[in-house]
């Protein structure tokens, strides 16, 4: 369950997110350096979307990847639901490619489900593959019922991944969606793996169990949160970072191996639901 680049290499176990990046001229250079630091550290999967800053994040990615061997990178973008039909998806894809300065996307995702039938979106995704504009396609923010419906559509089983919100404080997908995806060998992209912010993020980082495990590994609390997700088979977290320092800290989390006892403490502090819950998206 890996994301494989054009040259046949697996992308790093941790990717890079770009939500809210590229939107301000005064931080553009710093954010570009952060992405480049990640690439140098092996975080070759970069996730973006046409929605992020109305293309500003895609433009940032395009600047950051200049000078790198494109075949060693794994670039992901997402199409708005209202653009995911035959009328608009091909132009949306071309716009994303132009902003990123690349001839193809490694992965193109339906950002969330809208009113356009899944069958139409799948047909268009397969056409983009045939044209060489994308190598693979997937979805984002689809829950189990949506995935089951997708797999009934012609070509739906070609879906490569489901990108969903997943972190220690939001474990709802572990009840049914994650096992379903793992059973089918589909890697999961975990967005907002460090939580978005506010009281939940603060509560996670300051939690005694998280702090204790971090101290035992000489790591930061954020690195422990990433290591928790990396302990799950087929889960690829895609944290966002606006500085090279934090990006390198994220990359170093891949070296942390949590013991079963440590995982037990973290799971006890933030237990998974014992029943089905709606998919978190924020």
Q: Is 8 exposed, middle or buried (0-12, 13-18, 19+ CB in 10 A)?
A: exposed
Length of the chain: 282
Annotation marks residue 52 as catalytic? yes
CA distances from 13 to 33, 35, 70, 115 (A): 20, 15, 18, 34
In the DSSP assignment, the letter for residue 185 is T
- Cα separation, 173 vs 165, whole angstroms: 9
Considering 20, 52, 104, 108, which one is annotated as catalytic? 52
Q: What is the CA radius of gyration of the chain?
A: 18
Q: What are the DSSP calls for 151-178, one per residue? A: TTSTTGGG---EEEE-BTTB-GGGTTHH
Work out the angle at residue 57's Cα, subtended by the Cα atoms of residues 56 and 59, and round it to the nearest 5 degrees: 65
Active site amino acids: 52
């Amino acid at each position: 369950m890996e994301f494989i680049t054009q040259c046949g290499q697996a992308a790093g176990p941790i990717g890079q997110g770009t939500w809210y990046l590229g939107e301000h001229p005064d931080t553009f250079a710093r954010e570009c350096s952060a992405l480049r630091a990640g690439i140098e550290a092996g975080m070759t999967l970069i996730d973006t979307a046409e929605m992020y800053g109305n293309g500003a994040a895609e433009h940032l990615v395009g600047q950051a990847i200049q000078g790198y061997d494109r075949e060693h990178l794994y670039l992901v973008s997402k199409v708005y639901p209202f653009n995911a039909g035959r009328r608009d998806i091909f132009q949306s894809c071309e716009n994303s490619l132009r902003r990123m300065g690349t001839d193809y996307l490694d992965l193109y995702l339906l950002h969330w489900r809208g009113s356009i039938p899944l069958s139409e979106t799948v047909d268009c995704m397969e056409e983009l593959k045939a044209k060489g504009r994308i190598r693979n396609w997937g979805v984002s923010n689809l829950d189990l019922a949506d995935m089951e419906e997708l797999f009934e559509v012609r070509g739906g089983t070609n879906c490569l991944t489901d990108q969903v919100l997943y972190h220690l404080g939001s474990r709802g997908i572990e009840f049914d969606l994650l096992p379903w995806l793992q059973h089918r060998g589909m890697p999961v992209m975990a967005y907002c793996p460090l939580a978005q912010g506010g009281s939940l993020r603060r509560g996670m980082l300051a939690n005694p169990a998280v702090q204790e495990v971090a101290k035992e590994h000489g790591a930061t609390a954020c690195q422990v949160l990433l290591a928790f997700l990396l302990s799950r088979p087929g889960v690829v977290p895609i944290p966002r970072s606006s500085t090279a320092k934090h990006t390198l800290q994220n990359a170093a989390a891949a070296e942390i191996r949590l013991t079963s006892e440590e995982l037990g403490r973290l799971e006890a502090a933030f237990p998974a639901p014992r029943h089905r819950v709606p998919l978190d998206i924020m």
